[in-house]
Structure 1
Amino acid sequence: MPSFIKSKLRRDSLQAPLIAIVALLFAWFIALVVLPQCKPAIASARQNLPSIAIDWSPNNDPRKNYNASKVALIIEHEPLPLLVPLILHMIGVVPPDWRFIFIGSQKSVWTVGRAFGIQVQQGLGKIELMQLPQPWKIRSKEDRNRLLTDTRFYDEFLPGVEWLLKFSRDSILCANSELSLNDWLDYTWAGATDNRQNKALAVYGDLSLRRISVIKQILSFQSRYNDSEADDSWFGSRLEVLPDAKLAMTSDQPFAVQNNITSRPMGYNLQARGNLVD
């Protein structure tokens, strides 16, 4: 190998360690000499900076933006794909001062909660997803009947609520309705007619507006027998005898329809996924 190449290689091999040593010495010089001299100037400059306070409101509950006495409730055990679009539709149709509560199983709560639209509404405090603790059950229709006829359910999970819009996977409010849900607030109970009940009342079905104070009044002196009639029929027969109770009638503009389809109702409740429509 020529001598000039050997000398160049030796110079290159020495150059990198020299650069590292010089950089290390420069860093020590900055840390031990320059920085201590600059600390008073840095501290003085910090004192002259304007103070900024950021209030993140960690205790601010977004649910306070809504009327605590108005809640729309849906209870569903099965993780159905239609739940998310149904709930988002109802949020868009129901007046904006109402809050929503979804009660479901672990799977159905996860199915609803993973949707981005639902997550946005959760952040706004519009909807709350809830899985009831033991011994509460919602798997069967009878489980839900027992739930809705137990005053402890309203005391524990719906405190302060007066108006309850109950809907299900088989019910929906019409976006083109001439009436708003708030137009029915002076009613004690409003729902759909049921031809099989053979009555003039329109208080039946899974789509109904209920006064919780009246529910508690009935449950204070009567209890439903297990495996008996459904909660709407059970309450309906007792609402008739309550003094000063304003109930929706078949002669009124329909709040909801289920067995027989009439013109321009505010909502539809298709029992058994529409298999019972006349």
Structure 2
Amino acid sequence: MLGPDAKKKTNHLALLALVLTCTLLFLSHLTRPWQLYEEVPFLAQDEELQDAPAAPTNKVAVILETRPLGNLVPLILHFSSILGPEWPIHIFTSPLNAMAFQLCPSFNRLLNSGGVHLQALPPGVPEDYPFHEPYSRSVFLTQSWLWERLEPAEHVFFFTSNSMICAKAEKTLDDFLEYDFIGAPMGRKLGAEVGEGESAEFRGGKEVCCWFALGEEPFGYELVQVADEKMDDVLRWCPEYVISMFNMTL
């Protein structure tokens, strides 16, 4: 038999254990990864494309990236500032990336204003889908799902983690809308191959391509284009290019 003092002490210990248990359960509930995933403002496949306030537009910018790269947030913020609100950016990514993006107040401001939109990948596509691999990316782009998701946009601008548009460029993306398809050539020989960073089969000739992604003062660059001996010239014209150079996995 326990005395009154022992019973009182036992009751206090039991109460303390109950409080600690409830606290731990509450904290674990708040930090469950799957609950955080559910809070990410991704859109289900049957929902409308747009769930944040934004002006109607027939132009969209798109980045497809599932890797947790350190340069994604500054890269996206830069592209948004140069492209402007007429080109809202749709980010097709993983829940893990979406959570990381939303730790940044400047990204959240852009998200809430409709300047960027987080998009889930379609059912059956793994969260780590290798968009950085040219073949996998091409396979994804040949499916109708993405294009239906971007409706009613008539103009789509793709960029990647290793591409950059230059703030000092005299032309804007809208200056190229008369062409069906334009982008950055991957090879040193003009038109030899089209890079995946800023996409080009087009009718404008060499002059248009030089304005867009070649020459001394282009609209933008893709990392694979720039030779080492040209880097100083590139950085003088487009110092923000360094953001695309640090597309390393966190």
Shorter-chain TM-score category?
A: 0.5 to 0.7
SS at match of 1:161: coil
Which of 177, 196, 213 lines up with 1:185 in the alignment?
177
**2:111, 2:147 → 1: CA distance?**
22
5+ unaligned residues in a row in structure 2: which ranges?
1-49, 231-250
Q: Does 1:119 align with 2:75?
A: no
Report the number of matched residues: 176
5+ unaligned residues in a row in structure 1: which ranges?
1-59, 210-235, 240-245
Could you say what the CA RMSD is over the residues aligned between the two structures, in angstroms? 2.8
What is aligned with 1:100?
89
CA displacement 1:176-233 (0-9 Å, x = unmatched)? 000011111111111112336x5x5488223436xxxxxxxxxxxxxxxxxxxxxxxx
Q: Kindly tell me: are residues 144 and 249 of structure 1, through their superposed partners in 2, closer, same or farther at Cα, counting changes over 3 Å?
A: same
Percent identity of equivalent pairs? 27
**2:143, 2:229 → 1: CA distance?**
30
Offset of residue 115 of structure 1: 1.3
Offset of residue 106 of structure 1: 2.1
User: What is the TM-score with the length of structure 2 in the denominator?
Assistant: 0.62
Please tell me whether the aligned partners of residues 103 and 109 of structure 1 are also in contact (alpha carbons under 8 angstroms). no
**1:203, 1:71 → 2: CA distance?**
24
- 1:56-95 equivalence runs, <5 A: 62-67=52-57, 69-95=58-84
**1:105, 1:162 → 2: CA distance?**
26
Point out the structure with the larger strand share: 1
Q: Does 1:247 align with 2:203?
A: yes
**1:202, 1:99 → 2: CA distance?**
31
CA displacement 1:139-165 (0-9 Å, x = unmatched)? 25233221112123211x212111111
Matched letter for residue 265 of structure 1: P
What is aligned with 2:213?
256
Which of 202, 208, 215 lines up with 2:198 in the alignment?
208
Matched letter for residue 147 of structure 1: F
SS at match of 2:178: coil
User: What is the TM-score with the length of structure 1 in the denominator?
Assistant: 0.56
CA displacement 1:227-270 (0-9 Å, x = unmatched)? xxxxxxxxx6xx5xxxxxx534333333124xxxx300100101
- The structure whose Rg is larger is 1
